[in-house]
Structure 1
Amino acid sequence: MQQTKIKLTSQSGKRVLSEDELTQFLHWLPQSKYPKNVLLLTLLTLLTGCRTGEVCEMAWENVDLVKGTIHLKDTKTGSERHVQLPSQAIVFIDAMCSTPKNYLFEAKRTNRPISQHFLNESSNRLRKLDQMIDIPHWTPHDLRRTVRTGLGRLGCPSEVAEAIPGHSRKGIEGTYDLYRYEVECKVWLQKWADYLDTLIK
């Protein structure tokens, strides 16, 4: 498969990781000094393209590992949806089940979901300690944008690539095309996860 480089920019809302940066990130993340819950939350964001706030709030009662889905009831767009999980995500989420709790990513002291503020503070702490990966100007939200851009590069149809991160459709398409593309989302998220695997082999 011929790969093309993604144009980088530091403009707000435009930052994505290049293939080289993504490879570097995937090698760094498992050995990073992130707290374990932040590490896994970051990985799940990269595997699904979800908003980090949505991943923070994911509850075990909404996880179905048999179907390979997580039901998001409270989203930024106001529409419920089922996140389709690639097999790689199912494996590590299944391993997390051994510890009973309400949320996938809980704060130890409060038993509440960890906040985006904690996620950002964890990154800032690594930067202060000079333990952050040497990728300039990146934030956790850039991973979501990287997923959407990478899917397009892999050949994912636009309507599916938009459905995966939960983007709302506008205009006539948003009014008349109510199909959720869940089957297609699962297929393409698996292709995306498999592609990520090739970067670390």
Structure 2
Amino acid sequence: MAKLTVKELEALREADHGKKLREDGGLIGTVRAGTGGVSVYFDWRYRFEGKVKQIAVGAWPKLNIAAIRAERDRLRVEVESGSDPAERRKAERLKAKADQLEAVAEQEQRITELAAQQARLSVRDLFERWASVDLIRRRDGGKEIRRMFEKDVLPLVGAIAVEDVRKGHITGVTDALLARGVPRMAKLIFSLMRQMFRFAVDRDVIEGDPTAAIRKAKIGGKDVERDRVLSEDEIRQLAAQAPLAGLMPTTEAAIWVALSTCCRIGELLAARWEHIDLAQGTWWIPPEVAKNGKAHTVYLSDFTKQQFQRVKDLNSAAPWCYPNRSSTDSVCEKTVTKQLGDRQRQGKAPMSGRAKADYTDKLVLPGGRWTPHDLRRTGATLMVALGVLPEVAERCLNHTEENKVKRIYQRHSYEAEMRQAWSLLGERLDLLTRTDAGNVVTLRRA
């Protein structure tokens, strides 16, 4: 058998597929014809320990024939030295496969570890998930709750894995608030943490709620339901004191709008001019603004329209009745509450950056501390004292009817009755807030 030449190899055609080529020195080539052209795969046949064996030495034209012969000669030296190249290659392939399997196993273990780490959500991670699913749907997009958590919860427990949270971690948060002298805030934040952990239970993030074993009543004592109602004498006094309290004019107007409409202060501060028609005397509160998610129409008395006009004269350039400083959104719903509270700090130092010392007692009334929500209660109470049916007053408050049968079958809108109720309340407040209000006779409820 002579040596194969390049010309012989280049002369091969598809018809030669499967043909065997032989050359001195044990080279055997097999012709393969494919889409890429004709190739010849060479093996070297040799004898080792009395057995005939065969091993691949390269393919033409990927390797030239000289390189293929060189590989054969290198393997021949290996055989002559007592080593079987076929067994060596087999061992190398097995080692490479083992290394590959080991690498895959290491990668799978790493993936498992990463999955376990991801599964161990921290409290901060849980809060972000809760915020993106639940809080985002709340009226302010969860901004106020985020502020509270960033201040009083996450600095203490944010880095802890959710599944590692225990009763002591929860009480650690509430105890810090109680030590600060804010028991109502402690209760509120506890309720919010309970909502968050129940959210986690519902989604199988954790099996049990760590707040479940804690009684809310044990945090800061038992809740006392507020029943503060301003008397007519106090309303007269408030009308006299408010202009001297250093309030923003829009805040002063907010007092009277809240009192004359029985609205929630958050609903007023989020109101937009597009929903207020002073000519028609209506204010539509959309469901995304209403606390109970139920749209509500307020029929404005002349007294209320005057207050809204005061606000509009100052804030008509923005879409909101009460815009923030940059006019990018409405103000925080705590804005008015803080301003009123700052002016009821009789005997206490003014809070830093808030109302000046000259104003800290300007809104103090004989009946004790009052809040914007007490104005809502006061307005409804005045309505009933003026002869408005309690059921109509409840409608003006936009309360949801608790009786399911009434909700389903009693569909009367009470529009006329509600208009009259707000009108009566506005007329009474107009009398009480006049400079000659001292001549107004105080209503007494039977």
TM band (smaller chain): 0.7 to 0.9
Equivalent residue runs for 1:14-25 within 5 Å: 14-25=227-238
Q: How much does 1:144 deviate?
A: 0.2
> Alignment partner for residue 295 of structure 2, among 48, 66, 80?
80
CA RMSD after TM alignment: 1.8
Q: How much does 1:60 deviate?
A: 0.6
Q: Does 1:132 align with 2:132?
A: no
2:256–2:307 Cα contact (<8 Å) kept: no
Secondary structure class of the residue paired with 1:82: strand
- d(CA) in 1 for partners of 2:268, 2:253: 10
Q: Does 1:109 align with 2:326?
A: yes
Q: How much does 1:48 deviate?
A: 0.4
Q: Does 1:52 align with 2:259?
A: no
Structure with bigger gyration radius: 2
- Aligned position for 1:89: 304
- Aligned position for 2:378: 146
| Unmatched tracts of structure 2, length 5 or more | 1-223, 351-356, 438-446
Larger displacement relative to structure 2 (82-91 or 118-127)? 118-127
1:84–1:186 Cα contact (<8 Å) kept: yes
- Aligned position for 1:3: none
- Aligned position for 2:400: 168
Q: How much does 1:108 deviate?
A: 2.1
> Alignment partner for residue 119 of structure 1, among 311, 336, 342?
336
Letter in 2 for 1:30: P
Letter in 1 for 2:362: M
Q: Deviations over 1:83-119 (max 9, x none)?
A: 1100122233235434321111112234421222222
Q: Deviations over 1:7-36 (max 9, x none)?
A: xxxx53311112221221122223331222
Q: Deviations over 1:25-67 (max 9, x none)?
A: 1222233312222222222101100011111111011111222
1:41–1:105 Cα contact (<8 Å) kept: no
- d(CA) in 2 for partners of 1:119, 1:92: 15
- d(CA) in 2 for partners of 1:92, 1:137: 24
Distance 1:41 1:111, change over 3 A: farther
Secondary structure class of the residue paired with 2:334: helix
Q: How much does 1:132 deviate?
A: 3.0
- Aligned position for 2:410: 177
Letter in 2 for 1:117: K
Distance 1:180 1:161, change over 3 A: same
- Aligned position for 1:157: 389
Secondary structure class of the residue paired with 1:116: coil
- TM-score under structure 1 normalisation? 0.86
Letter in 1 for 2:363: I
Q: Does 1:189 align with 2:402?
A: no
1:73–1:81 Cα contact (<8 Å) kept: yes
- d(CA) in 2 for partners of 1:186, 1:50: 15
Greater relative CO (CA pairs within 8 A, separation 6+) = 1
Structure 1 or 2: more strand by fraction: 2
- d(CA) in 1 for partners of 2:412, 2:427: 26
2:257–2:307 Cα contact (<8 Å) kept: no
- TM-score under structure 2 normalisation? 0.41
Larger displacement relative to structure 2 (135-144 or 102-111)? 102-111
Identity over the aligned pairs, expressed in percent? 26
Letter in 2 for 1:20: D
Letter in 1 for 2:411: L
Letter in 2 for 1:145: R
Give aligned pairs, total: 191
Letter in 2 for 1:45: A
Q: How much does 1:169 deviate?
A: 1.0
Secondary structure class of the residue paired with 2:266: helix
Q: How much does 1:174 deviate?
A: 2.1
